[in-house]
């Protein structure tokens, strides 16, 4: 954690692995440098919903006659839903005490763009406007932000709150042990995928 972080937490006694667990990757590191009241999971969820709503302005404006009231309604519902899911993740983590889990960026990051593309196709009548396509497009838009908050940010925010309150979040499970387990799971997963590719290649040669 940077020395000029805006939240008041004494991290001088933490080792490098514990600090890495607190700050996380690039996105989490930016959030961890915000005040804790501002980076609450519900606020991060609402911010994600707001960004998605901004992206929807163009397809709504281009395809709807009275687009602004409809966009405003859907944007409000989206922001409320993502903020509520952020609060839900915070409550769940308060009971489970689960440590942060790294999200699969390759699977998570393209999802909002796919959802946005589907909504654009629906509004331009290039894709059938039925219940299934509506749920699919809106689901792809909404899922990535709340899923990241649930798996990664809500647990990390709880750790930051504990540090600010002067409580060590690593008393029962040291961060080094946690990070080793995460790294071991990642290596095992990568090895499994590599073996599957090799087996497929060998079967094609035969």
pLDDT tens-digit readout, 171-189: 655 444 455 555 545 544 4
Residue 162, in any domain of the structure: yes
CB 79 within 8 A of CB 44: no
Residue 105: its pLDDT value, please? 81
Residue 5, in any domain of the structure: no
Residue 165, in any domain of the structure: yes
Span 59-82, average pLDDT? 89
Whose CA is closest to 83, among 44, 56, 38? 44
Q: The domain containing residue 123 runs over which residues?
A: 24-169
Whose CA is closest to 144, among 59, 78, 76? 78
Cα-Cα-Cα-Cα dihedral sign, residues 31, 32, 38, 40: positive
Q: Average pLDDT, whole number, for the chain?
A: 78
Count Cβ atoms below 10 Å from residue 167 Cβ, excluding itself.
Answer: 10
Residue 108, in any domain of the structure: yes
pLDDT tens digit sequence for 107-125: 888 899 998 888 888 877 7
pLDDT band at 21 (very low <50, low <70, confident <90, very high): confident
Residue 90 pLDDT > 80? yes
Residue 40, in any domain of the structure: yes
Residue 203, in any domain of the structure: no
Number of domains in the chain: 1
pTM: 0.75
Residue 183, in any domain of the structure: no
pLDDT tens digit sequence for 127-142: 777 778 888 888 998 8
Residue 195, in any domain of the structure: no
Tell me the C-alpha to C-alpha distance, in Å, between residue 38 and each of 6, 31, 114, 172.
Answer: 11, 9, 29, 28
């Amino acid at each position: 954690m940077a020395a000029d972080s805006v939240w008041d937490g004494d991290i001088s006694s933490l080792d490098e692995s514990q600090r890495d667990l607190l700050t996380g990757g690039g996105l989490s590191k930016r959030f961890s440098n915000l005040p804790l009241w501002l980076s609450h999971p519900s606020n991060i969820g609402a911010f994600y919903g707001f960004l998605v709503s901004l992206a929807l302005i163009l397809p709504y404006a281009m395809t709807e006659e009275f687009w602004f009231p409809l966009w405003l309604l859907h944007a409000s519902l989206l922001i409320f839903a993502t903020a509520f899911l952020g609060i839900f993740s915070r409550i769940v983590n308060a009971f489970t005490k689960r440590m942060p889990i790294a999200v699969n960026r390759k699977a998570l990051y393209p999802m909002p763009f796919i959802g946005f593309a589907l909504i654009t196709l629906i509004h331009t009548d290039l894709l059938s406007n039925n219940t299934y396509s509506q749920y699919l497009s809106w689901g792809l838009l909404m899922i990535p932000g709340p899923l990241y908050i649930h798996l990664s940010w809500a647990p990390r925010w709880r750790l930051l709150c504990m540090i600010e309150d002067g409580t060590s979040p690593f008393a029962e499970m040291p961060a080094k042990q946690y990070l080793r387990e995460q790294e071991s799971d990642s290596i095992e997963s990568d090895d499994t995928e590599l073996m599957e590719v090799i087996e497929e290649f060998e079967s094609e040669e035969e």
